[in-house]
């Protein structure tokens, strides 16, 4: 019994925090400022606790399982949520229902934890729903904006559709194999048409969550309409968690069909990178720009996934860690500017360096990292994704991926050029940052620089496998 509590430690901690927040809400409630400090503190503790007492084990007849790598993946998500609680303080302070916001956010996180740990398709489905539905509510949190409601509506409708597809796929899997357990499934898979069809359905559901072309169309609208904190959560934490379970699904469960999924991943990866880049090129709104660029980044994650289990897993986990730092930093800067000054257009960022050099440097670091320019961590992340992908010796694919990297350079540098080099008569005025925002940005900046240069980070991730 005690052991079980320790094995499910991550989930239990989150649950405790959720209940604590609920009680606060039911009681007198707190001011936004003190609540925010409490949440930041709790999330920091939760992140630190994530390093200790990690027991591997199987629970509930294999419905739930965990191990060192899964614990590490969960802790990356913890780190991401902690950074979110720091970085978006501007928006949080203005928010009317902050307690509910965090309750929903943490519920989604709980769902993601259970999803990463799931050992059965049913469990996977349930936790995926838990990870999705609260986010739809979160997307609606800019209560006075119509776009926010529209985003929430679009998200919930598309998600419902994708859940339907997923359930359909799961029922076909059950029909074709007679089991839903991750452990028993591989032995039953032989690649007959029914199984292929079932796999395509499951795959589509994953692709929907990961915003992979052509299942990505909801992404831009939802990202643009939601509050920036939610967009960041969706594009980093949610994507990260789904790619982790995607790794398990492909390498452990559907390994017997790996030729099939290799081709599928490759085609969709190319399509995703190209589409993401093409759309990112012409965006003027910085949130939409980041949305499409993150679609292109997901295409890159697929390059790593197309590899074999060991290299694929470590390179993807490593990349997600870097992605947490880089993308959250970029969204953090965006959020500060949009909630203080209300400016979201790339043109309005011109001359930012004259007035806000710190924000500018953080943004530049983040974009350099996203573009994969050495010596930022993003370079190493992409390097390892590419080398992992190259292990299948399909060089056309790798060259296309590398070309896309160059293409993406163009639009990332466009933003940097606007900020640093272009003159502006009326640049965004000087912004005084909240200490927590500054802390969050410094953590991200350090992460962006050090995660790449310290090679033991990657070695450590490899050793977890």
- Cβ atoms of 127 and 112 within 8 Å: the answer is yes
**Contacts of another protein in 408-437 (CB under 8 A):** none
Closer residue to another protein, CB minimum distance, 46 or 315? 315
And the tokens for 200? 């395509």
Binding flag, residue 197, another protein (CB under 8 A) = yes
Binding flag, residue 68, another protein (CB under 8 A) = no
What one-character DSSP code corresponds to residue 215? S
Give 319-322's long-range contacts (Cβ < 8 A, gap of 24+): 319/381, 319/382, 319/384, 319/385, 320/73, 320/76, 320/239, 320/240, 320/243, 320/244, 321/76, 321/451, 321/457, 321/461, 322/369, 322/377, 322/378, 322/380, 322/381, 322/447, 322/448, 322/451, 322/452
Tell which one of 38, 200, 416, 442 touches another protein (CB under 8 A): 200
State the Cα–Cα distance between residues 193 and 22, nearest whole angstrom: 48
Find the shortest distance in angstroms from Cβ 311 to another protein: 10
Closer residue to another protein, CB minimum distance, 255 or 387? 387
**Contacts of another protein in 211-230 (CB under 8 A):** 214-215, 217-218, 220-221
**Contacts of another protein in 150-179 (CB under 8 A):** 153-154, 157-158, 161-162, 165
State the Cα–Cα distance between residues 447 and 139, nearest whole angstrom: 28
Find the shortest distance in angstroms from Cβ 202 to another protein: 10
Closer residue to another protein, CB minimum distance, 102 or 218? 218
Secondary structure (3-state) at 64: strand
Binding flag, residue 387, another protein (CB under 8 A) = yes
Find the shortest distance in angstroms from Cβ 367 to another protein: 20
Phi, psi of 65, deg, nearest 5: -145, 155
Dump the DSSP string for 181-212.
BTTTHHHH----HHHHHHHHHHHHHHHHHTT-
Secondary structure (3-state) at 145: coil
Closer residue to another protein, CB minimum distance, 49 or 409? 409
Find the shortest distance in angstroms from Cβ 112 to another protein: 22
State the Cα–Cα distance between residues 450 and 441, nearest whole angstrom: 14
And the tokens for 3? 């052991």
- Cβ atoms of 388 and 447 within 8 Å: the answer is no
Tell which one of 23, 396, 425, 455 touches another protein (CB under 8 A): 455
Closer residue to another protein, CB minimum distance, 66 or 294? 294
State the Cα–Cα distance between residues 186 and 163, nearest whole angstrom: 23
Find the shortest distance in angstroms from Cβ 46 to another protein: 31
Phi, psi of 53, deg, nearest 5: 50, 50
State the Cα–Cα distance between residues 190 and 359, nearest whole angstrom: 54
Tell which one of 26, 28, 144, 193 touches another protein (CB under 8 A): 193
Binding flag, residue 457, another protein (CB under 8 A) = no
Tell which one of 49, 260, 400, 416 touches another protein (CB under 8 A): 260
**Contacts of another protein in 265-304 (CB under 8 A):** 275, 278-279, 281-282
Binding flag, residue 239, another protein (CB under 8 A) = no
Binding flag, residue 393, another protein (CB under 8 A) = no
What one-character DSSP code corresponds to residue 285? B
Mask for 16-55, x = binds another protein (CB under 8 A) = ----------------------------------------
Q: Judged by CB under 8 A, which stretch of 197-205, 322-330, 338-346, 416-424 contacts another protein?
A: 197-205
Closer residue to another protein, CB minimum distance, 103 or 156? 156
What one-character DSSP code corresponds to residue 29? -
Find the shortest distance in angstroms from Cβ 338 to another protein: 21
Q: CA dist 392 to 258, 402, 427, Å? A: 12, 16, 49
Closer residue to another protein, CB minimum distance, 55 or 409? 409
State the Cα–Cα distance between residues 428 and 292, nearest whole angstrom: 24
Interface with another protein (CB under 8 A)? 153-154, 157-158, 161-162, 165, 193, 196-197, 200-201, 203-204, 207-208, 214-215, 217-218, 220-221, 260, 263-264, 275, 278-279, 281-282, 380, 387, 455
């Amino acid at each position: 019994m005690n052991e079980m509590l320790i094995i499910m430690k991550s989930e239990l901690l989150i649950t405790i925090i959720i209940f604590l927040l609920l009680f606060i809400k039911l009681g007198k409630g707190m001011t936004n400022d003190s609540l925010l400090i409490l949440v930041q503190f709790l999330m920091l503790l939760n992140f630190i606790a994530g390093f200790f007492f990690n027991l591997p084990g199987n629970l509930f007849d294999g419905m739930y399982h965990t191990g060192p790598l899964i614990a590490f993946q969960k802790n990356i998500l913890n780190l991401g949520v902690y950074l979110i609680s720091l970085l978006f303080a501007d928006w949080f302070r203005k928010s009317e229902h902050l307690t509910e916001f965090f309750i929903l956010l943490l519920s989604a996180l709980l769902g993601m934890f259970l999803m990463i740990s799931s050992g059965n398709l049913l469990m996977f489905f349930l936790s995926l729903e838990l990870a999705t539905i609260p986010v739809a509510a979160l997307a609606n949190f800019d209560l006075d904006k119509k776009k926010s409601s529209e985003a929430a509506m679009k998200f919930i409708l598309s998600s419902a559709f994708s859940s339907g597809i997923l359930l359909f796929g799961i029922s076909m899997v059950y029909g074709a194999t007679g089991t839903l357990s991750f452990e028993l499934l591989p032995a039953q898979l032989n690649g007959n048409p029914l199984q292929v069809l079932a796999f395509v359905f499951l795959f589509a559901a994953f692709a929907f969550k990961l915003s992979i072309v052509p299942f990505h169309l909801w992404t831009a609208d939802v990202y643009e309409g939601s509050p920036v904190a939610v967009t960041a959560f969706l594009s980093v934490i949610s994507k990260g968690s789904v790619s982790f379970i995607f790794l398990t699904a492909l390498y452990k469960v559907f390994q017997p069909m790996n030729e099939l999924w290799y081709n599928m991943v490759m085609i969709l990866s190319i399509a995703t990178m190209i589409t993401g880049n093409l759309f990112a090129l012409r965006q003027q709104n910085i949130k939409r720009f980041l949305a499409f660029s993150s679609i292109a980044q997901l295409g890159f994650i697929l390059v790593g996934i197309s590899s074999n289990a060991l290299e694929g897993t470590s390179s993807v986990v490593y990349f997600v860690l870097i992605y947490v730092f880089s993308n959250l930093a970029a969204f953090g800067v965006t959020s500060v500017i949009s909630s203080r000054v209300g400016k979201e257009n790339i043109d309005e960022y011109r001359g930012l360096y004259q007035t806000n050099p710190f924000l500018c440097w953080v943004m530049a670091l983040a974009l350099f990292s996203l573009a994969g320019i050495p010596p930022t961590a993003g370079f190493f992340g992409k390097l390892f994704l590419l080398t992992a992908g190259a292990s299948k010796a399909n060089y056309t694919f790798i060259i296309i991926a590398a070309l896309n990297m160059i293409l993406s350079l163009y639009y990332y540098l466009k933003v940097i050029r606007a900020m640093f080099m272009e003159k502006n008569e009326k640049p965004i005025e000087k912004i005084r940052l909240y200490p927590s925002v500054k802390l969050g940005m410094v953590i991200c900046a350090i992460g962006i620089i050090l995660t790449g240069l310290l090679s033991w980070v990657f070695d450590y991730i490899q050793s977890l496998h």
